[in-house]
Amino acid sequence: CRLGHAFMGEYYQRHVPSEDVACPCGKHLQTRDHILLDCERYDEHRHHFAAMRQDLNGTHVLLSTRKGISALAKFIQSSGAFTKTGEPPPLDR
């Protein structure tokens, strides 16, 4: 995610043109910023960024500070964002 190499339309557009670049939410191009800041699919997981909301100007803080990277890791783990399916991992039973 930090380097832009992830399962998302923005990456596919440059490196895997045979893949769909649209977001499942309907946005024409699925970008990293869209996933982190706007996509309704991940609204319930953005609470990981709550402590940083005042500092959050775009995604710079998330991608470049220790606090941001920690919050980003928690967001990705709980949401499944940037994975091939874009879905949260199955719960252990």
Instruction: Give domain status of residue 2, yes or no.
Output: no
Instruction: Report the 10 Å Cβ neighbour count for 58.
Output: 10
Instruction: Give domain status of residue 71, yes or no.
Output: yes
Q: What is the mean pLDDT of the chain?
A: 89
Instruction: Give domain status of residue 30, yes or no.
Output: yes
Instruction: Give domain status of residue 84, yes or no.
Output: no
Query: What range does the domain containing 14 cover?
Result: 9-79
Instruction: Give domain status of residue 91, yes or no.
Output: no
d(CA 72, CA 58): 13
Q: Is the pLDDT of residue 7 over 70?
A: yes
d(CA 14, CA 62): 23
Report the number of secondary-structure helices (H) and strands (E) in the chain: 4, 0
Residue 41: closest CA among 93, 69, 83, 92: 83
User: pLDDT exceeding 70 applies to what percent of the chain?
Assistant: 91
Instruction: Report the 10 Å Cβ neighbour count for 70.
Output: 13
The number of folded domains in the chain is 1
